[in-house]
Amino acid sequence: MEYPALVLKRGEEARLRAGHLWVFSNEVDVARSPLTAFAPGDACAIVDHRGKALGVGYVNPNSLIAARLVARGLDHAIDASLIVHRLNVALSLRERLYSHPYYRLVFGESDGLPGLTVDRFGDVLVAQITTAGMERRKEAIAQALLKVLRPRQLWWKNDAGIRALEQLPAYVELAHGDAGGEVLAREGELEFLIDPREGQKTGWFYDQRENRSQLARLVAGKRVLDMFAYLGGWGIHAAAAGAAEVCCVDASASAVEATHANAQRNGVADRVRAVRGDAFDHLRALREERERFDVVILDPPAFIKRKKDAAEGRLAYRRLNELGMQVLARDGILITCSCSHHMPRAALLDGVQQGARHLDRHVQMLIGLQQAPDHPVHPAIAETDYLKGFVCRVLPA
């Protein structure tokens, strides 16, 4: 196996040796290995300034992340055999964690397949590629998924905005099987009908599954507000755990319709109401109407997508949490989350505290929340530790 060398500048190999997988464009010795000599997705051997190989990966000369390491050393080609092996390793973890085949099967860098995400919904797979290197190997990935899992359907949900950074087109297509039939996400005894073509991300957010299980001891007999509800994951879990009344709010009309259907499917439609509305506007309206809830759940999309937006995003999280506290009953529970990598865990809690002091409230942080274990964190790659949250008790000061 011979791959063209991508040579790093002196000292730029330290992060890779520590376990990270990314090479930034300003770390490449372009005099010795011009990035312009590579096409997007080309395989390469990543070597230090002395010519010592670190491993094999793939290149995108058009991206700030110019290369990603896939295998250390030079013993393994980036081919179907390697992909099958990595899938089997990923599958063995998920089968250890869960008794039913509903989970995130592949979580990019953490599973040794940078640029690839795969969610499993029983006999349906929804996969997403975000890098040119994986796009070039799309057919090999598809064949590996069919070999390892034999799904009824395999969807490519390649419409994430991050693909634009790699100059990749956005599209959704059925790669295997016949369209039609229900696609379900399962969490415990609950089922949620999802749409692999039109749904958000890959159709469902398995990363919150462990956090939603916290509701069982918090919501019995309570009035619950679920903001950014999407398909009703949090709210329907709350109703199933004994909440007396649940209001799910989402800006999408199709999500509201799907929440109604999912509540009906799980036998809690009599206690779940879904309404369409902008979260900030809806919370302000509830505050003006003096509505109060025993539990308020805030699980928004990422407010900070780029580092330069961090200050504005932190303010948005604080304002959201402050609005959430304003519709809490006395001695209420606030569940707040952020999926923004650029929002540190401590900063989220600090925003809650600032909002509480502005309202003359006292907060007790009860439980820290993180992503489910089918989204394993790579200790050397901070970007894989993206989901954080808190269960807080809010009292008068």
Catalytic residues: 339
CA–CA dist 57, 378 (Å, integer): 18
What are the angstrom distances between the C-alpha of 48 and each of 24, 54, 70, 77? 14, 7, 16, 19
CA–CA dist 71, 17 (Å, integer): 12
CA atoms within 13 A on the CB side of 330: 2
Residues 6+ apart with CB under 8 A from 125: 105, 118, 119, 145, 149, 151, 153, 154, 155
CA atoms within 13 A on the CB side of 125: 26
Q: By three-state DSSP, how is residue 91 classified?
A: helix
CA–CA dist 170, 357 (Å, integer): 44
Residues 6+ apart with CB under 8 A from 190: 236, 237, 240, 266
49 CA to centre of own chain = 36
CA–CA dist 226, 278 (Å, integer): 13
CA–CA dist 104, 110 (Å, integer): 12
CA–CA dist 172, 77 (Å, integer): 28
Task: Please say whether the beta carbons of 51 and 7 come within 8 A.
Answer: yes
51 CA to centre of own chain = 37
- 369: phi > 0 → left, psi -120 to 50 → alpha, else beta; which? beta
What are the angstrom distances between the C-alpha of 270 and each of 43, 191, 282? 56, 17, 22
